[in-house]
Structure 1
Amino acid sequence: MRRGFRQSMAWLHTWSGLVTGWVMFCVFVTGTATYYRTDISLWMRPELRAAAVAPGVAAERGAAYLKVHAPKAVSWFVSLPQEDRPLIGVYWLDSFEAPIRQASLDAETGQPTTARATQGGDFLYRFHYELQMMPMLGRWIVGASALVLLVALVSGIVTHRRIFADFFTFRRDRSAQRGWLDAHNVTGVLALPFHLMITYTGIVTLAFTLMPWGIASAYRGDEMRFYVEAGQTPAWRAAAGRPAEALPLAPLVDRARAEVSEPLEMVIVNNPGDAASTVVAVFEEPKGLAHRHPQVAFEAVSGEVVARLGTLKPAAHAFTSFLGLHEAHFAGPALRGLFFLCGLMGSATIATGLVLWSVARAPKPGLAPGFGLRLVRGLNLGTVLGLPIGIAAFFLANRLLPVALEARAAWEGGAFFAAWGLAALVGFARPHGRTWREMGTVAGLLFLSLPLVGALTTDRGLDFVWFDLAMVAIAAGLGSGAWTLSRYEDVRRTRVARTAQTLARA
């Protein structure tokens, strides 16, 4: 610890921000992108067109596919086509221990879609909280990093006694360190309420991962009962072990839609083909903070309603409100855009903080940087510019890989990690100051090429004009940043040269 409370908080802010900064920068960037996850997914499947298919008909088509390909599954899930996702998604569990399997069907025919295979915006969404690792490991890393980031935010507030005065101060020409500090302060203070909210709610959404002991102790491993008592899902009915013919899904879907005004999102069939089978109609969440889904459950054989879910228990309502606030499900276009801008400022706050750490510890002219500083500089380059390069490569791979390529979605993810890894290696291998300019320019050119590549490889015209404009804006931001850094580096080299001349004359 350092002398005095504020000095101790400054030390805590510096080192907690550095230790988790690289992870949280990736989390902030990909999380910010997922405010437009559905738009990204639509762009990445340009073959899809909106299809006017009744929900009951879509449910029947999904069930018909599952009867052939998953007759012995314990559960079927049929995701119905929406305006922002004009496909029928089918998912099934062969057993409770087995992973979920899935397929995408054409809404018009019920056959596997010929649209390109891709994870779309879901790739960035899952990276945001799992880092594309094993789910539990990734969530633990993100959750622990978010806890430390919350400490960094609070300690930063305590440290900056002139926090609001610094918001109106930007002295980019004083020195590189002063300019980075002011940029860090401005982006941090301007969206400070958002930074605190998004970090805290992110921790809350991972609470069951970080602190699973309460449920495990109270329910002795029967987690399903916890969700039933919270009002989030109907009770599971054990299979009777006797086959029985279920009613068609379409009439049950129509009855459920007559009770709930929200759009139908998914149909779940538990124990398909069994006498104790149930059909659950799951609707989109109503407008509001709480991320809850009204549900109507039927006996599949008799058609009798066995459960209606719409109101959550108070604790579950509070939890789902935090989840809804974090993911901005309640937000209209303007508010979603504001969340996106605040997310960008959060990313900039972390990035400028990481760079500021290395700038403040730069060696005096003529001295070589130590191993620790070289490591931090390389990680900064590989994260702050390597991640955008990886995202641009991910988008370009979506347009350039053959549509019929086997395991195509995996190849897109491979392009993301390969480009990111290569950029990180370059960041360690090349001279530090020059590499910021070079990698920033490359990242900007990659994003700038996306509208051109999209126009040459699809026939959608201006359907994705907003996405293209966003890519141009990102390219402009990266390019201007690269040249600003270049100017700082030129000024630094000039000062170093003058200092060396002065010392030589002395």
Structure 2
Amino acid sequence: MDTNTRGFRQSQAFLHTWSGLLLGWILFLVFVAGTIAFWREGMNRWMRPELARVEQPMQVLAGAQRFLQSKAPDAKSWFITMPSARTPGAQLFWQPQVKKGEPRRRGGRRDNQALIGADGAPAHARETRGGEFFYRFHFDLHYMPVIWARWLVGFATMMMLVAILSGLVTHKKIFRDFFTLRRSKGQRSWLDGHNATAVLALPFHLMITYTGLVTLMAMLMPWAVVANYSDEARIFDALFPQAQAVERTGRAAPLADLRIVVQDAQRRFGAPAGFIEVSDPGDAAARITVSQSSASMLSSRTPRLTYDGVSGRLVWRSPAPGGAAVTAGAMIGLHAGRFADDGLRWIYFLCGVAGSAMVASGLVLWTVKRREKLPDPARPYFGFRVVERLNVAVIAGFPLGIACLLWANRLLPAGMRGRAEWEVHALFIAWAAAGLVALACRPKAAWPALFGITGALLAAIPVYNVAATERGLPAWLAAGDWMLAAIDLALAAFGLFAGTIAVRVARFRPELRKSRARRVVPAPATPILEPAE
């Protein structure tokens, strides 16, 4: 290899190492939460075990219309998510009429939301964020302004793309190494595992990273919009065209049966409906807009139809989108994976697990490689100790927090005020406690302790579901509810995996290495995490 090529590879190795390290902990959080979010509909149901599976969507839709007509007959608009077997029911939102002189409400509110269950009646279930928390957390984080979080996640995603591309350059034998997995070989085992998880799902890693940047493109690179559109409303109208607005008349008129309108829309789409918006319900100028389900096509920007709210007559259909809109919609659709059936969704999920393992193994590998190069591995410098303990706090602490969130979902009183928020608080309280353990204890003790607790908590949840609730794995299997059964099985599997890691780390004894001067180097204070057999 000539000098120029060697120098280029070395520069890419430096870039790969530091682009992956500096924001690697945020990337780990994003990967783990995003991976769980591929099953957010299932998590929405699993975290409300009181609710039955939707068998007759039109019955639920009829119940939603009855509820809104009695609860918010004079609202400015209604919003209804179409129920399906994947969802816990029909989620409803309504926007009250703006009254003269009344200040505009800011922030979220709970008094304009409801959930209609499988029987068509308002559902009385525990308050929870469900899978929506993981979906929002993977790009909005938590406890910080959304715009700051998205910039931080966007920058971390760019660093991820740099790390992937530079890793392809610097690992000249990466494809050969993919077929080599040496166990119980310390640093070599971690490098083999890192290479294997990277190459196995390489197309997915490139796709999910690039399309993740596309979802934030208007924020990260707004210059094209600024150069071509002086008014923000114009770009919105170009990307999301709507039927011409109609002024409220003040004359009462009965709203058309939403079931008939949706059935007509589904016939025209040739696909299921996903979302319904009703403007000025109960007025002669009412309009009903039906959007095609994003689960039925690759693009996230689905066609829409608008109907007269009284007669049910079609008055508008969305125009065919341009090439740029189709491309952007397809990129966002690829990233979210809403179009995927169960088989492809499992592929997304498993590739996300591989991505999480790739980031985690890369972070651990940084400390393993550098400890061997220290003058005194038993007394590393301050920066090394910081990275080492951050690895423990994030890689072992965040999964522990997730396990505590799931237990909070099961154990907190159903009528507790702010229950959904306290589920999330439980995650961060447990995570903070794990961080304190990582700071106070030697990594050799902290790794197995945190992974062991996480494994026990995750594996115990399916047992609790059977013993303390009316539902659980046997009931879900008997009912053919494979989505909820798969979640319990996955929790048991990840619990077993975390427990295995804890045992392997606790039993690991590093080999003594000799320096070039035949001097025995003291055994490292931190165990080299061994991959589970």
Structure-2-length-normalised TM-score: 0.85
Counterpart residue number, 1:47: 50
> Which residue of the partner structure matches residue 417 of structure 2?
406
Tell me the SS of whatever aligns to 1:4.
helix
Tell whether the 8 Å contact from 2:256 to 2:312 is kept in structure 1 after alignment. Answer: no
Structure-1 separation of matches of 2:55 and 2:176: 56
**8 A contact 2:256–2:311 mirrored in 1:** no
Decide which of 76, 79, 99 is 1:77's aligned counterpart.
79
Structure 1 residue 430, shift from structure 2 partner: 0.6
> After the TM superposition, which of the residue ranges 36-45 and 108-117 deviates more from structure 2?
108-117
1:91 paired with 2:93, answer yes
Matching of residues 15-26 of structure 1 within 5 Å = 15-26=18-29
CA distance in 1, matches of 2:355, 2:381: 29
Alignment of 1:420-459 (within 5 A): 420-459=431-470
2:131 corresponds to: 121
Once the two structures are TM-superposed, the CA of residue 297 in structure 1 deviates from its matched residue by: 0.3
User: Residues 100 and 310 from structure 1, CA distance in 2 versus in 1: closer, same or farther, beyond 3 angstroms?
Assistant: farther
Partner of 1:138: 149
Structure 1 Cα separation of the partners of residues 267 and 106 of structure 2: 35
Tell me what 1:204 maps to.
Answer: 214
Distance 2:344 2:377 in 1: 51
Deviation of the 1:108 alpha carbon: 6.0
Q: Which residue of 2 aligns with 1:470?
A: 490
Q: What code does the residue aligned with 1:491 have?
A: P
The residue that corresponds to 1:323 in the other structure is: 332
SS at match of 1:253: helix
Map of 2:530 onto structure 1: none
SS of residue matched to 1:90: strand
Letter of the aligned partner of 1:156 in structure 2?
G
The amino acid across from 2:321 in the alignment is: L
User: For 1:361, what is the secondary structure of its paired residue?
Assistant: helix
1:44 Cα deviation (Å)?
0.9
In the superposition, relative to structure 1, how do residues 257 and 74 fare at CA in structure 2: closer, same or farther (>3 Å)? Answer: same
Whole-Å Cα distance in 2 between the matches of residues 218 and 71 of structure 1? 41
1:291-330 per-residue CA deviation (whole Å, 9 max, x = no partner) reads: 3423210232454422113743221111111122112233
| Residue 234 of structure 1: aligned partner | 242
| Residues 23-422 of structure 1: pairs in structure 2 closer than 5 A | 23-53=26-56, 55=58, 58-59=60-61, 61-66=63-68, 69-70=71-72, 73-94=75-96, 98-99=106-107, 101=109, 102-107=112-117, 112-132=122-142, 133-174=144-185, 176-223=186-233, 225-230=234-239, 232-235=240-243, 237=245, 239-240=247-248, 242-250=250-258, 251-272=260-281, 276-285=285-294, 287-309=296-318, 311-362=320-371, 363-365=374-376, 367-422=378-433
Cα 1:239–1:422 shift into 2, 3 Å: farther
Q: CA deviation at 1:92?
A: 2.8
Partner of 1:485: 505
- 1:246 offset after TM fit, Å? 4.8
Separation (CA, whole Å) in 2 of partners of 1:236 and 1:377: 59
1:248/1:19 Cα in 2 relative to 1: closer, same or farther (>3 Å)? Answer: same
- 208-217 vs 350-359, which deviates more? 208-217
Residues 340-372 of structure 1: per-residue CA shift (max 9 Å, x gap): 111111111100110111122224446422221
Residues 47, 172 of structure 1: alpha-carbon distance in 2 compared, 3 angstrom cutoff: same
Whole-angstrom CA distance in 2 between matches of 1:364 and 1:492:
17
**Following the alignment from structure 1 to structure 2, what is the Cα–Cα distance between the partners of residues 338 and 257?**
29
Name the counterpart of 1:504: none
SS at structure 1 position matched to 2:510: helix
* Contact 2:294/2:339 (8 A) holds in 1: no
- Partners of 1:198 and 1:53 lie apart in 2 by 34
Q: Distance in 2 between matches of 1:379 and 1:35?
A: 27
**Kindly tell me: are residues 495 and 400 of structure 1, through their superposed partners in 2, closer, same or farther at Cα, counting changes over 3 Å?**
farther
Cα deviation for residue 140 of structure 1 reads 1.7
Structure 1: state its 5+ residue gaps.
Answer: 502-506
Aligned-partner Cα distance in 1 for 2:20–2:315: 51
| Alpha carbons of structure 1 residues 257 and 483: separation in structure 2 relative to 1, 3 Å | same
Deviation at 1:147, TM superposition (A): 0.8
Query: Contact conserved, 2:25 with 2:394, CA < 8 A, in 1?
Result: yes
| CA drift at 1:486 | 2.9
Q: What's the offset of the Cα at 1:45?
A: 0.9
Q: What 5-or-longer segments of structure 2 have no aligned partner?
A: 99-103, 477-483, 524-533
CA distance in 2, matches of 1:143, 1:309: 31
Distance verdict in 2 for CA 1:247–1:159, change over 3 Å: same
Aligned 8 A contact 1:237 1:276 in 2: no
Point out the more displaced range, 456-465 or 193-202: 456-465
Q: 1:366 to 1:284 in 2, by over 3 A?
A: closer
Pair 329,18 (structure 1): closer, same or farther in 2 beyond 3 Å: same
- CA drift of 1:493 comes to 7.6
State the Cα RMSD in Å. 2.9
Runs (4+) of structure 1 exceeding 6 A deviation are: 493-498
Aligned partners of 2:277, 2:221: CA distance in 1, in Å? 29
CA apart distance, 1:288: 4.0
Which moves more between the two structures, 433-442 or 165-174?
165-174
Residues 181 and 192, structure 2, Cα contact 8 Å, conserved in 1:
yes
